[in-house]
Structure 1
Amino acid sequence: MIRAIIIDDEPAMQEVNSQLLSEYFPNIKLVGTADCIKTGINLIHKKKPDLVLLDIQLSDGSGFQLLQKLPSYNFKVVFITAFDSFAIKAIKFSAIDYILKPVNEIEFQQAIQRAIALIEKKEHTESQVNVLMDSFKKELQNKKLVLRTQNSMHIVDISDIHFCKSDNSYTTFYLDNNEKILVSKSLKDYEGILKEYGFFRPHQSFLVNLNHIKKVDKTDHGFLIMKNKKEIPISTRQKKNLIDLLDRL
């Protein structure tokens, strides 16, 4: 019996994939589900699965980051993703299977069947995963974002963004060398794009690059001190999530 787990932050997707496994693959036993990097890693250590259905975009980071936090593993991975050209390109470069949201039953069956074949042949996939991680890291290092203002189009390195600040339907980007760029899009428009690249929303008005945090002040409500010496508030609701996330870096 093949032991499988599902790591996805959408309960509906957990249910869909669980039902498809049960319907089409009676030789696969679902031994658990998780919804983030932390619970996913704990579940992997506890259940020691043969197969992991792993969502790329989790609430506290990416499925790629989850794999990077594991010192070693011998399970097979099938990624689950909404359409994301970068993620799919990285996966295709490594010839690792993925399931596209919304789930197509035939494609689901094909991806799982290929994973079963690898498990049964005891075929190692470390080299494929290494190619995937290299592609992922290179994409992060070189990733740029286009910011359109009223008069200009700015092309910025994501790594140069310290934080973003919301002002209703506008967002100000704070960059290296104290540069600021104001764009006429909401912070929510950028949160989904930047979350995959190490950004976190500690407060409804701010989105911060975790790589530019210098210090976390935990007194009272608490606030962040960035490397550019700016102070960012932390909401009570997000304080524990942020500290947990930083502990895992």
Structure 2
Amino acid sequence: MMEKKKVVIIDDEANIRELNRHLLLDNFTDVDVVGEADCVDDAVKVIELTQPDIVLLDIEIKGGTGFHVLQRLRPYSFKLIFITAFNQFAIKAIKFSALDYILKPVNEFEFVEAISNALKRIDEANDEAQVDNFIAHYGKDEQRKKMVLRTSDSMHIIEINDIMYCKSDNSYTTFYIKDQKEIVVSKGIKEYAELLEEYRFIRPHQSYLVSLDYIQRIDKSDGGFIILNNGKEIPVSSRRKQSLLQLLDQL
């Protein structure tokens, strides 16, 4: 008989802890909730005592934050899933770091998906590098503009400034990185367009996302193309052409 995976729930709302516990027990026969806590000190104690495989961790808890819990437990070996009420900065930071999260109010489908992902990754290296990146983005550390890209078989931590452009292929996005081979991730380009818009990225075509830093010129013939400094031609859609030209004129 396979040993059950151990889960700890850290949240300062008792009703959320209860809901998460019921969702786990109703949807996963191979997990066991071995502990709960609502504050930093108790969270550290219960995690050290139970050595869980997965921790559901609220960002804002009594006595501090989930980050304080993680700092006191390093190095840790569990899979981490953040629980958070909608917070634009937190969600962006989590996505930049390719971490799993559950948004309050909890949606059962999203909950099951996050737990399933964590269970699949139990044997992978832990999430410390991703958490470091999350904290840097959440704290708006301007010295650390990095992004975590998780593929089917590995994890890449890249400098945002090294991303030349991205290309969409339905539900997949290929990142073309300066001086590196491309990286293919199983997420649509729309999510990355929203994440990277504040880092001088534009979307000249529904299938492309381009860094302004690598644009050499615009060729207005044949409907319009962006020419990157490596010679790559990126098409410009007719409906985006005028706004793109106006944007480049302002630079």
TM, length-normalised to structure 2? 0.53
- 1:37 is matched with 40
Structure 2 segments unaligned to the other structure (5+ residues) = 144-251
Q: Distance in 1 between the 2:108 and 2:82 partners?
A: 15
- 1:117 is matched with 120
Q: Distance in 2 between the 1:140 and 1:39 partners?
A: 33
- 1:126 is matched with 128
Question: 1:172-183 counterparts in 2 under 5 A?
Answer: none
Larger Rg belongs to: 2
User: Residue by residue, what CA displacement relative to the aligned partner does 1:222-241 show, whole Å, maximum 9, x if unpaired?
Assistant: xxxxxxxxxxxxxxxxxxxx
Distance verdict in 2 for CA 1:84–1:140, change over 3 Å: farther
- 2:198 is matched with none
2:53–2:77 contact (8 Å) kept in structure 1: yes
Distance verdict in 2 for CA 1:130–1:16, change over 3 Å: same
- 2:62 is matched with 59
Question: 1:1-249 counterparts in 2 under 5 A?
Answer: 1-119=4-122, 121-138=123-140
Quote the sequence identity (%): 48
Q: Distance in 2 between the 1:96 and 1:85 partners?
A: 15
Give the CA RMSD over aligned residues.
Answer: 1.8
- Residue 13 of structure 1 and its aligned partner are, at CA, apart by 0.3
Q: Distance in 2 between the 1:136 and 1:67 partners?
A: 15
Secondary structure in 2 matching 1:29: strand
Distance verdict in 2 for CA 1:140–1:2, change over 3 Å: farther
Secondary structure in 2 matching 1:138: coil
Aligned length: 140
Structure 1 segments unaligned to the other structure (5+ residues) = 142-249
Secondary structure in 2 matching 1:30: strand
- Residue 137 of structure 1 and its aligned partner are, at CA, apart by 3.5
- Residue 107 of structure 1 and its aligned partner are, at CA, apart by 0.3
TM, length-normalised to structure 1? 0.53
